[in-house]
């Protein structure tokens, strides 16, 4: 076991709580990848919280399966799943082991490696403003499922939102159960525009 750096200790502390508590704290944090020497970093600006047996909208609602196993791991585990048979979506697991709870990373503002993201996305706009797009831009795939955001290939780094940014809550997107819970968190600039607006 290696010693935590001050930064990773902060990340661990941040992820210790329940997903709903942790979610807004992830806004402003950096998501970092480096594959084949290509660095990419985004500022996380939209997330959603998912629970376990108490949350009918969660993949973990009915207990562990081959797909959702990572959600039952320790805080900081990455849960990557295939969406609509085409896209990858990434979550950061929070809270104690065997107590499923995770934050879906829905959107980010690119700050490093935009050129790499453009190539991976095959376009020059809307690089990471959606859960599937975010994974595509950062090169995150099912290979990264179960790895740690503390010391794995996909890392979380502490960060803050830009001056004047506010956090807006809303209902989760694309679900059909427990639709009323306000477990979606979006960072916005004071004029109401989204952080990643082109």
Partner DNA sequence: CACCTGATTGCCT
Partner DNA sequence: GGCAATCAGGTGA
Q: What is the dihedral of CA 11, 13, 17, 22, to 10 degrees?
A: -40
Q: What is the DSSP track for 104-146?
A: EEEEEEEEE-HHHHHHHHTSSSSSSSSHHHHHHHHT--GGGTT
- 20 lines the binding site for DNA (CB under 7 A): no
Q: Least separation, in Å, of the C-beta of 2 and DNA?
A: 29
Q: Number of residues in contact with DNA, rule: CB under 7 A?
A: 37
The residue with tokens 């994974």 is 135
- 119 lines the binding site for DNA (CB under 7 A): no
- 22 lines the binding site for DNA (CB under 7 A): no
Identify which range of 8-16, 86-94, 146-154, 184-192 contacts DNA by CB under 7 A.
Answer: 86-94
Closest-CA residue to 72 (of 80, 85, 63): 63
Please identify, using beta-carbon distances, which residue of 33 and 68 lies nearer to DNA. 68
In the shown chain, the binding pattern of residues 24 to 53 toward DNA, with x for contact by CB under 7 A and - for none, equals ------------------------x-x---
Identify which range of 2-10, 31-39, 133-141, 147-155 contacts DNA by CB under 7 A.
Answer: 133-141
CA distance 89 to 104: 8
Radius of gyration of the chain (CA): 16
Say how many C-beta atoms besides its own lie within 10 A of residue 35's C-beta.
Answer: 17
The neighbouring-strand residues paired with 156 are: 31
Q: Which of 7, 53, 124, 173 binds DNA (CB under 7 A)?
A: 173
Which positions lie near DNA, rule CB under 7 A? 48, 50, 57-60, 62, 65-68, 71, 79, 82-87, 89, 91, 102, 104, 121, 123, 126, 130-134, 136, 172-176
């Amino acid at each position: 076991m290696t010693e935590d750096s001050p930064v990773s200790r902060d990340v661990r502390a941040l992820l210790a709580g329940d997903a709903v508590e942790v979610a807004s704290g992830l806004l402003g944090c950096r998501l970092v990848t480096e594959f084949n020497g290509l660095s990419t970093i985004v500022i996380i600006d939209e997330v959603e919280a998912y629970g376990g047996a108490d949350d009918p909208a969660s993949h973990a609602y009915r207990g562990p399966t081959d797909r959702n196993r990572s959600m039952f791991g320790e805080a900081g585990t990455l849960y990557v799943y295939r969406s609509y048979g085409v896209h990858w979506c990434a979550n950061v697991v929070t809270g104690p082991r065997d107590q499923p709870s995770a934050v879906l990373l829905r959107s980010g503002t690119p700050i490093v490696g935009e050129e790499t993201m453009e190539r991976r996305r095959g376009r020059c706009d809307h690089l990471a403003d959606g859960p599937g797009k975010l994974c595509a831009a950062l090169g995150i795939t099912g290979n990264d499922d179960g790895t740690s955001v503390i010391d794995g290939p996909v890392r979380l780094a502490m960060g803050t939102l830009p001056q004047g940014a506010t956090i807006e809550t809303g209902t989760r997107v694309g679900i059909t159960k427990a639709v009323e819970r306000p477990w979606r968190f979006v960072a916005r600039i004071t004029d109401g525009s989204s952080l990643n607006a082109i």
